Amino acid sequence: MRVTTRLVVSIVLAAAIVSAGWTWFSARTERAQLLVELDHRGSLLAESLREAAEPLALRADAKALARIADKFGRRERLRGISLHAPDGKALVATAGLPESSPPPGPESEVDCRLIHEGAVHRCTTFLEHTPGFLAVFHDASHVDARVRDVWRRGFLRLLTQVLLITAIALWIVRFDILAPIERTAEWMRLQRSGEGGGAAPPTGGLLGPLASEAAGLAQSLTTARAAAETEARLRHRGQSLWTPERLKAHAKERLRGRPMVVVANREPYSHVRRDGKIQVLSPASGLVSGVEPILKACGGTWVGHGGGEADREVVDANDRVRVPPEEPLYSLRRVWMSKEQEEGYYYGFANEGLWPLCHIAHARPQFRAGDWEHYRAVNRLFADAVLSEVEGVEEPCVMVQDYHFALLPRMIKEARPDARVSLFWHIPWPNPEAFGICPWQREILDGMLGADVLGFHIQYHCNNFLETVDRTLECRIDWEAFSVRRGEHATLVKPYPISVAMEEGAGPLPSKEDLLRSVGAKGTLLALGVDRLDYTKGILERFLAIERLLERSPEYIGRFVFVQLGAPSRTSIPRYRDLVSDVRKEAARINARFETKEAKGWQPIALSVAHHERTEVARWYRVADLCVVTSLHDGMNLVAKEFVAAERESPGALILSRFTGASRELRDALIVNPYDIDRVADALREGIEMGPEERWRRWESMREAVRENNIYRWGARLVDDLGRVRLGEGDKPA
């Protein structure tokens, strides 16, 4: 109420000052104009009477003068005329004039002025042939009356304005300020008390930006409350949950405040142009989902390839930009490469060479000397970027990600022996015979062993790597400690099963019908697949399993729908282009086969080939009845864990390939061999028909596994081992 009063009083005072100033100016102008009119009228009349009045002055003929005055009396406000001797003595005058008439000004000029306190206007002029002067008198009382009228009208206008402004101000304050504040305050009270139920904050109006910030604050509060409640619950049970806050404190203690630098080919945010404006995209990516929470919790720098069309337009002079856009927590350092470098390094050596080499998925690796040269050059490019980021920093910590940078650890370590370097290999590691295909296997292994800590998803991949090193390089392997000593440097090789963060406080459940409608699908039983369009993901095999399910169980026709969110990937590689075409054709074939008149408009497979943002994918996770992950070979596969981590009202069923790292942890998923089409079809039916009690048991078990072994625990284990590295003693791991 005080704020409203101050606002209204301020507006009224401002209006009053402005109105009073304008009225004063108007009154002053009006008075000046009226006096000019009197001067003009008096001087004209004095000039015209001067010649006729001279004989009357000599004869002192008052009657004749009165007749002249009567003649001109019809003129507005003329009070009379008088003739005077040079000393000012009245010779003759009409009745009712002022008693004294001072002499006029200089000769040949008409002197006009107000007399009798402004009530009378007098103009005087010397007679031309007779000594003396003529005076013409007008009534000037109307001047003050007009000025008073201007002030009176100004006051009434001011009063009207004040009343109108006050009413408008009160209306605006009540409905556009106070009402949104009350709604926002009530919404925040409900959020604070935990009674909000995920209700959306008030939006729009003057408080739109404030509401947006309040929503972010409430989301943070909800997330923190949920994390605190979960940790308290687990502590009560003798367990301990890793949270962003705990990881941040842990990293600060273990790394002693050293900056964290993450190196990955993919950037977590890209800037593109849409409709003439720059927009930020956050693509769905297992690597980003797994690694970004570490930097969000600990801060630091992400060094990645700037591939967005507008990426260069938003960086500073050092090619950096703060992210996430809505709440910057760390820096993104972008590295630029030429088209030839990208073709050779990324599409060539990394994805036509190392990718199929490490995945046992029946694609022949392609190794070309030109691609290898580009691979080395780009690794050097990224090494230079990392070294510039850590210049002047004592014992920096660098976390290198994935098979794109096998040479990078050695490059960093040679330039900065005091750096603590880890390399996490996100894809599988093959057996020594398979890896022996690579012509540059010694260089790759040597580059990887430049790291102090080398991580894979599972122990099996660690064993394969150590066996490969044992057969290829001269080194000493400690099989008990799982470390490799090459020269004076030691590398710890361990499994670090990567994970995701549990989704907390996601808000109201999306509408399944609306989501299905967005991809042109309909049905009551929703199965979901989320993958890059890659030949290792087993997409064609799962389509065949869906076909087999509908063959065996026609009762699901018209009810069951499988939505495949497929992100196009590496389309410049022929194998990938062919896969996109094959996936489209197979989906069209199966849809055509099961098209019926009874289920008009229904199709069993809805294929959405596009880049989907993480927020969009998360909405699908929350409503899908089943999630199908049938990778033919995968390091971990975070889609399975993201589905389990999604916040939902009822449990879902997970069908998971035995050839994924996730199958070692999510043992209550329906584990399948993706090559066994009949078994996958059986698992689809089992997931649909599973009883509520078993569904809940499996779901809670999987969620407990993801909750306990979340991404923050993964980061903490890496940070632990990185912090234990003893530099200067042969880089010996503790």
Tell me, what CATH number does 125's domain have?
3.30.450.20
721 belongs to a structural domain: no
**Residue among 175, 166, 163, 168 at smallest CA distance from 204:** 175
CA atoms within 13 A on the CB side of 146: 15
256 and 116 co-located in one domain: no
651 and 683 co-located in one domain: yes
Run of H or E including 422: strand 420-424
81 belongs to a structural domain: yes
Residue where a domain terminates, one of 110, 145, 180: 145
419 and 536 co-located in one domain: no
Low-confidence ranges of the chain (pLDDT < 70): 1-4, 57-62, 65-66, 68-76, 98-108, 189, 191-239, 284-286, 728-734
519 and 490 co-located in one domain: no
Complete DSSP assignment for 34-64 = HHHHHHHHHHHHHHHHHHHHHHHHHHT-HHH
452 and 317 co-located in one domain: yes
255 and 232 co-located in one domain: no
Domain count, the chain: 4
551 and 657 co-located in one domain: yes
318 belongs to a structural domain: yes
Residues 6+ apart with CB under 8 A from 562: 527, 528, 529, 542, 546, 604, 605, 606, 628
- For position 438, what pLDDT does the model report? 96
The 3-class SS string of 345-401 reads: HHHHHHHHHHHHHHCCCCCCCCCCHHHHHHHHHHHHHHHHHHHHHCCCCCCCEEEEE
372 belongs to a structural domain: no
| Residues 554, 534: Cα–Cα separation, whole Å | 30
- For position 237, what pLDDT does the model report? 46
160 belongs to a structural domain: no
47 and 135 co-located in one domain: yes
Our CA angle for 336, 337, 340, nearest 5°, is 165
Q: What is the span of the domain harbouring residue 236?
A: 210-241
44 and 140 co-located in one domain: yes
469 belongs to a structural domain: yes
Q: Tell me 510's DSSP state.
A: P
Neighbours of 40 (CB within 10 A): 12
Please, are residues 71 and 134 in contact by the beta-carbon 8 Å criterion? no
Tokens of 141: 């009382």
- For position 160, what pLDDT does the model report? 82
413 and 532 co-located in one domain: no
Radius of gyration of the chain (CA): 45
532 and 451 co-located in one domain: no
| Residues 405, 417: Cα–Cα separation, whole Å | 18
460 and 593 co-located in one domain: no
CATH of the domain at 528: 3.40.50.2000
Tokens of 663: 């199958």
542 belongs to a structural domain: yes
Q: Tell me 509's DSSP state.
A: P
460 belongs to a structural domain: yes
